[in-house]
Amino acid sequence: MKIRTAIAGLGRMGCIHAENLRFRTRKADLVAACDPDPERREKGKSELGIRNIFTEFNDMIHRSDLDAVIIVTPSVFHCRQIRDAIHAGLHVFCEKPLGTDLDECQETARVIENNPEQVFMLGFMRRYDTSYRYAKQKVEERYLGKPILFRGYSVDPESAIGGILSFLPKSGGQFNDMAVHDFDLARWFLKSEPRSVYAIGGCFAHPEFADYDDGDNVAALMQFENDSMAFFLAGRTAPHGYNIETEIIGTQATLRIGAVPQMNLVELMDETGIRKECSRSFPTRFGPAFLAEIQEFIDCIHEKRKPEITVYDGLMASKMAVLATESFRNNKPIVIK
Ligand SMILES: NC(=O)c1ccc[n+]([C@@H]2O[C@H](COP(=O)([O-])OP(=O)(O)OC[C@H]3O[C@@H](n4cnc5c(N)ncnc54)[C@H](O)[C@@H]3O)[C@@H](O)[C@H]2O)c1
């Protein structure tokens, strides 16, 4: 039997999940969607062929023919919608981050943990990317020896800045919107929790970020309980494209993932020289990972098992983001209790 799903939010990311559920996931059916924007609702109907389209989230989740909901709305709405969907008896997949307010994240985690029979999964899709999975396997096999340092860079292309500025008020800031992927990866690879954080940053090209007490490029240094270290950069001004790179240095070896964020293996040779094109955006770099994570969510429901990513992972990544933001704003290191 197919898992009957609904999607909340038909924006950039919502359409990716909707297409995957509609056309590429055999064991699921996409029966409903909601979005307050009439153009997006029309797109859901005409381009994605979704039968039941709603304006209101709560009208949609109380349909009797639903098993699960995929939440892909602006981050400020995640926690409330997760709780409402869990209370409505649905399995829930929610895009990262878990939320933008730590108290609300904690309350949401309690609701999820009190309903263990319902599957909950957060969209940290990098854990489903084949290169990150291979690196994780190497780390588990102790190829690196003891991990010393995690380095994660996540920088959006400058060409995307228009869209980024429009969702600034609802994103939770650079650390929670962008670096949150790297915070999750650092915990995943280092297998430890942070014990201190110091963050810095600035507005180098876009003073609008200062209106939200944020920077267009921010960085953080953390030390973990097992003494390993991590360095993070989150930015929005990469001239060359979507720059996601990761390095893990160990006592016996070093691993790099996407050190040169090239789009593919093609080399272009012309009168300017020899070059490789850069990944342009998150859908091109992580398209297969978005499909793999949603298939894992559906498989978990079918097989009555839990995904590897828990609400605690979401809570910890958002906590790291909140503390990094606080450190950046006050220009002070923070020791985590
Ligand atoms: N995993 C990733 O790499 C990744 C990439 C991009 C976005 N995201 C996440 O996905 C979420 C959405 O981001 P986006 O870029 O698609 O934003 P977007 O602005 O393109 O789309 C959001 C959509 O949600 C709709 N919406 C607003 N309020 C709603 C509500 N109450 N109920 C239902 N729909 C509502 C909007 O009308 C819009 O269509 C964010 O939380 C973001 O962090 C994750």
Give the tens place of pLDDT for each residue, 213-229: 999 999 999 999 999 99
**Residue 217: CB atoms within 10 Å:** 20
- Above 90 in pLDDT, residue 167? no
**Is omega for the bond preceding 36 within 30 degrees of 0, making it cis?**
no
pLDDT at 172: 85
319 Cα–ligand 1 center, Å: 21
8 Å CB contact between 332 and 143: no
Testing ligand 1's pocket by substitution, the residue of 17, 72, 76, 168 carrying the most ligand atoms inside 8 A of its CB is: 72
8 Å CB contact between 50 and 32: yes
- Above 90 in pLDDT, residue 185? yes
In the block, tokens 């933008």 appear at: 100
Mention every residue, 6+ apart, whose C-beta is less than 8 A from residue 132. Answer: 126, 185, 246, 257
The pLDDT-based confidence of 63 (bands split at 50, 70, 90) is confident
96 Cα–ligand 1 center, Å: 10
Report how far Cα 206 is from the mean position of its chain's Cα atoms.
23
55 φ/ψ angles, rounded to the nearest 5 degrees: -90, -40
What is the 3 state secondary structure string of the chain?
CCEEEEEECCCHHHHHHHHHHHHHCCCEEEEEEECCCHHHHHHHHHCCCCCEEECCHHHHHCCCCCCEEEECCCHHHHHHHHHHHHHCCCEEEEECCCCCCHHHHHHHHHHHHCCCCCCEEEECHHHHCHHHHHHHHHHHCCCCCCEEEEEEEEEEEHHHHHHHHHHHHHCCCHHHHHHHHHHHHHHHHHCCCEEEEEEEEECCCCHHHHHHCCCCEEEEEEEECCCCEEEEEEEEEECCCCEEEEEEEECCCEEEECCCCECCCCCEEECCEEECCECCCHHHHHHHHHHHHHHHHHHHHHHCCCCCCCHHHHHHHHHHHHHHHHHHHHCCCEECC
The pLDDT-based confidence of 337 (bands split at 50, 70, 90) is confident
pLDDT at 133: 98
pLDDT digits (tens, 9 = 90+) for 66-96: 999 999 999 999 999 999 999 999 999 999 9
- Above 90 in pLDDT, residue 171? no
Testing ligand 1's pocket by substitution, the residue of 15, 17, 19, 35 carrying the most ligand atoms inside 8 A of its CB is: 35
pLDDT at 170: 84
As for ligand 1, residues whose beta carbon falls within 6 Å of it are 8-14, 34-37, 40, 57, 72-75, 77, 95-96, 123, 125, 167, 177, 282
pLDDT at 178: 96
Mean pLDDT of the region 267-288 = 95
- Above 90 in pLDDT, residue 149? yes
Tokens linked to 188:
């995943």
- Above 90 in pLDDT, residue 18? yes
Percentage, residues of the chain above pLDDT 90: 96
pLDDT at 256: 98
pLDDT at 169: 85
- Above 90 in pLDDT, residue 44? yes
The pLDDT-based confidence of 319 (bands split at 50, 70, 90) is very high
118 Cα–ligand 1 center, Å: 23
pLDDT at 230: 98
pLDDT at 254: 98
Claim: this prediction has a pTM higher than 0.95: yes
Tell me the pLDDT of the chain averaged across its residues. 96
